[in-house]
Amino acid sequence: MLRSHTCGDLRREHVGSTVTLCGWVSRCRDHGGLAFIDLRDRYGITQVVFHPGEGATLHEEGRSLRSEDVIQVTGVVEARAEKDVNPKLPTGQIDVRVKTLKVLNKSKTPPFEPGTSELPNEELRLRYRFLDLRRPALQQNMILRHKISKLTRDYFDSLGFLEIETPVLGRSTPEGARDYLVPSRVHPGAFFALPQSPQLYKQILMVAGYDRYFQLARCFRDEDLRADRQPEFTQIDVEMAFVEREDILSAIDGLVSHLINGIRGEQIPLPLPRYAYFDVMERYGSDKPDFRFGMELKCIADIAGRCGFGVFKSTIESGKRVRGLCAPQAADKYSRKTIDELTEFVKNYGAQGLAFFRVKDGALDSPIAKFFSAEDQKAIIERFDAKNGDLLFFVASDAKVTSAALAALRSRLGKELKLYDPMQMHAAWVLDFPLVTWNAEENRWDAEHHPFCSVHPDDVELLKTDPGKVRAQSYDLVVNGYESASGSVRIHDPAIQQTVFDLIGVTAEQAESRFGFLLDALRYGAPPHAGIALGLDRWVMMFAGNDNIRDVIAFPKTQKASDLMTGAPSDVDTKQLRELHIKSDVK
């Protein structure tokens, strides 16, 4: 070992002992006589002191150190005088008087300094990821990620689950997200696909008798990125046999409790709250609302239909909806100009406009208030339980647009008005999603979750008569407005499976050619089974109180899915392409 302690170890009790530390030079304070160096590693920061009394050569060497040099120092732990204690550092009661210094590696002048709080733009951070990862904030995220993985493995292990790895090189199944493809050298013209999730493998593991499976599985989806979405991410993948929905929900309740207790030391009440998809869409306009605050959506179709405001009236007459929300005590915080900005904002979600009313002296105050009778103004105020000083917003459009626009507005206002504690974790289930949704472009039904999701037992009859009303035995775990887990009870009967395929327009031949191996497996004694997958990256992000998934991934990709550090993806030799029987039409 090149060191006796880390830079986070030393305390007053070590005073007098001789220690050896290694680390990176974080900051230098050179007084000509005394020179102070903040020495940093992932455990902390320790101040080391170069004293002129320890010899001119050593002193000069100490003074010549610069940011990010890697050094090894041996010295004596000394107590700081009371006035010199640094309360910001856990090691702030001591420093190390250096007796010998070894520069293990000199650093070039870094493009930015991990030791300062001022952050450069993200492009530079990604290009020099090794420097960015030296920052204590990112190191804490990596440590947090490790802890969550460890707690997860411990939890499932304690319940008798087996972690089983599934292939990364698999078969392309064209449904769902776009696949990342890997060409086969030995099968000219054929491709592997990287898994979007281990879905089919884990169901086959159930058939194979591994009735409690989990895996921290890397997944790949070639779709556009977002702040909370990377093309390559990690799922906590879970599947159980001989179970019902309830067993999955309670198993994951237990995991969530285990994680929150393990990371935050907090106990949460179980079971987690459960909501029906339909209710959540009606009350929040989103299937993944942030439940940490209220500000629920309300419908005013009755009032809108009889008011004098043409836009509202004609919307209701054409069978559409007028819904709104009440922003508490926001009337003075949002000027006409900022409301105009909000109007532009909701237009991104298809809304034509945004009607607003300030609540003032028990009535509505707005350019369009005159179109509403005093009774209707009062009725609106009562419906929202609005108080003087509140600000009401309304969107008139179909169910989809009013939901999307108001959900986005609710989310934005909740953040701007600080209606919740950003560090709070609130987890709740959303149940009974529709099995299928109508795809107007392709003129057919699409699976909402995936094609292997089983049908709610009460709704089997509706499959043939009114597919849009059929509920799936599926469930999402929603945390702080993020879809943090999603799963379902699976179909284990090949006949029902084919019924669902028929519904979503997959012929028996297509099903055989794409998923034949799964369908075949289901014919050889498939137990009833169900499962779920949690987005590990998002969980780490939420525990970190962060809203950027890149900060919890060691080597993330940019929005254009490239790696600025390595330069991936890159050109390859024509020789490689020839071996893979690939011709490119680029260039």
86 forms part of the interface with RNA (CB under 7 A): yes
Indicate the residue type of 420: Y
**Rounded Cα distance, 181 and 378, in Å:** 60
Give least dist CB 570 to RNA, A: 12
Considering the complex, state which of residue 152 and residue 411 has its C-beta at the smaller distance from RNA: 411
**Rounded Cα distance, 151 and 135, in Å:** 24
Site for RNA in 382-411 (CB under 7 A): 404, 408
Q: Using CB under 7 A, which of 9, 38, 237, 253 touches RNA?
A: 38
Give least dist CB 195 to RNA, A: 8
449 forms part of the interface with RNA (CB under 7 A): yes
Contact segment (CB under 7 A) with RNA among 105-113, 416-424, 454-462, 566-574 equals 105-113
Contact segment (CB under 7 A) with RNA among 83-91, 139-147, 263-271, 302-310 equals 83-91
First to last CA, the chain: 53
**Rounded Cα distance, 143 and 388, in Å:** 47
**Rounded Cα distance, 157 and 203, in Å:** 19
118 forms part of the interface with RNA (CB under 7 A): yes
Helix 399-416 crosses helix 336-347 at what angle (to 10 degrees)? 140
78 forms part of the interface with RNA (CB under 7 A): yes
Structure tokens at 81: 């005088």
**Rounded Cα distance, 254 and 236, in Å:** 14
559 forms part of the interface with RNA (CB under 7 A): yes
89 forms part of the interface with RNA (CB under 7 A): yes
Site string for RNA, 316-355 (x = CB under 7 A): --------------------------------xx------
Q: Using CB under 7 A, which of 60, 84, 385, 520 touches RNA?
A: 84
223 forms part of the interface with RNA (CB under 7 A): yes
DSSP string, 361-405: TTEEESTTGGGS-HHHHHHHHHHTT--TT-EEEEEEE-HHHHHHH
Q: For residues 138-155, b (16+ Cβ closer than 10 Å) or e, as one string?
A: bbebbebbeebbebbeeb
Number of residues that bind RNA (CB under 7 A): 74
Considering the complex, state which of residue 342 and residue 564 has its C-beta at the smaller distance from RNA: 564
Site for RNA in 182-201 (CB under 7 A): 196-197, 199
**Rounded Cα distance, 245 and 403, in Å:** 28
Site for RNA in 155-184 (CB under 7 A): 173, 175-178
Considering the complex, state which of residue 238 and residue 404 has its C-beta at the smaller distance from RNA: 404
Contact segment (CB under 7 A) with RNA among 108-116, 260-268, 292-300, 314-322 equals 108-116
124 forms part of the interface with RNA (CB under 7 A): yes
Residues 449 and 470: beta-carbon distance below 8 Å: no
294 forms part of the interface with RNA (CB under 7 A): no
Taking phi first (over 0 means left), then psi (-120 to 50 degrees means alpha), and beta for anything else, what does residue 362 get? Answer: left
Give least dist CB 301 to RNA, A: 23
List CB contacts of 469: < 8 A, sequence separation 6 or more.
434, 459, 462
